């Protein structure tokens, strides 16, 4: 479960130059495609919460008398502790967001992730039978996960020696 963050807008509008630099250095835009690749490779599904879902501002498990979700109140936008106007509970913003995202329904996801896992080439059964044979760790599609050397046999040198001859 990840949130669909607008990283470009965070870099443009978030005040101090040091904060904008930290957002760029953290490479937050690279995490979601990486997670999409890894989950697809393992056969799992990556759920993406809508960027407009106020996960940290809605009090988890609390509803207003009219049945609407209860919005937490904080003095500033960056407050770590927020207060519920109905129950008076003091709630940690990050823990509350984690609980809301944990209970995020799959049907409310903002859509499929734009990255797919490439197929991993390789044999589907064990390779070789003798002592020291590569048994090939099976991956998600039954394909071997270990990379295979290109053009070099098991006992051949993969790079030439300084004299130009194989060792």
Within this chain, do residues 36 and 60 fall inside the same structural domain, yes or no? no
Instruction: Provide the pLDDT for residue 118.
Output: 39
The DSSP bridge pattern shows strands 2-3 and 81-83 to be unpaired
Domain annotation covers residue 138? no
Domain encompassing residue 20: 1-46
Instruction: Provide the pLDDT for residue 20.
Output: 74
Core vs surface per residue 13-52: b (16+ CB within 10 A) or e: eeeeeeeeeebeeeeeeeebeebbbebbbeeeebbbbeee
Per the model's pLDDT, the better-predicted residue between 100 and 120 turns out to be 100
Domain annotation covers residue 139? no
Within this chain, do residues 70 and 13 fall inside the same structural domain, yes or no? no
In this predicted structure, the answer to whether residue 125 has a pLDDT above a threshold of 50 is no
| CA 100 – CA 111 distance, rounded (Å) | 18
Q: Does pTM surpass 0.75?
A: no
Within this chain, do residues 35 and 53 fall inside the same structural domain, yes or no? no
Residue 161 binned pLDDT confidence (cut-offs 50, 70, 90): low
Within this chain, do residues 95 and 38 fall inside the same structural domain, yes or no? no
Within this chain, do residues 19 and 56 fall inside the same structural domain, yes or no? no
Within this chain, do residues 53 and 6 fall inside the same structural domain, yes or no? no
Instruction: Provide the pLDDT for residue 80.
Output: 87
Q: How many domains does the chain have?
A: 2
Within this chain, do residues 51 and 83 fall inside the same structural domain, yes or no? yes
Strand partners of residue 63 = 69
Interval 68-117: pLDDT, tens: 888 888 877 677 899 998 889 999 999 998 898 888 775 455 555 544 43
Interval 19-76: pLDDT, tens: 777 777 777 778 888 989 999 999 998 888 887 888 888 898 888 888 888 888 887 7
Within this chain, do residues 15 and 27 fall inside the same structural domain, yes or no? yes
Per the model's pLDDT, the better-predicted residue between 149 and 21 turns out to be 21
């Amino acid at each position: 479960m990840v949130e669909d963050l607008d990283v470009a807008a965070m870099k443009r509008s978030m005040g101090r130059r040091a904060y904008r630099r930290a957002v760029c250095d953290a490479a937050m835009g690279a995490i979601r495609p990486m997670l999409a690749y890894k989950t697809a490779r393992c056969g799992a599904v990556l759920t993406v919460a809508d960027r407009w879902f106020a996960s940290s501002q809605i009090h988890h498990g609390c509803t207003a008398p009219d049945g609407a979700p209860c919005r937490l109140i904080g003095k500033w936008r960056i407050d770590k502790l927020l207060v519920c106007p109905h129950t008076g509970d003091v709630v940690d913003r990050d823990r509350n967001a984690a609980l809301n995202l944990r209970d995020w329904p799959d049907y409310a996801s903002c859509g499929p992730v734009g990255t797919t896992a490439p197929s991993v080439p390789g044999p589907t059964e064990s390779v070789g039978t003798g002592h020291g044979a590569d048994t090939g760790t099976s991956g998600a599609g039954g394909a071997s996960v270990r990379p295979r050397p290109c053009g070099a046999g098991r006992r051949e040198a993969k790079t030439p020696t300084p004299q130009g001859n194989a060792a």
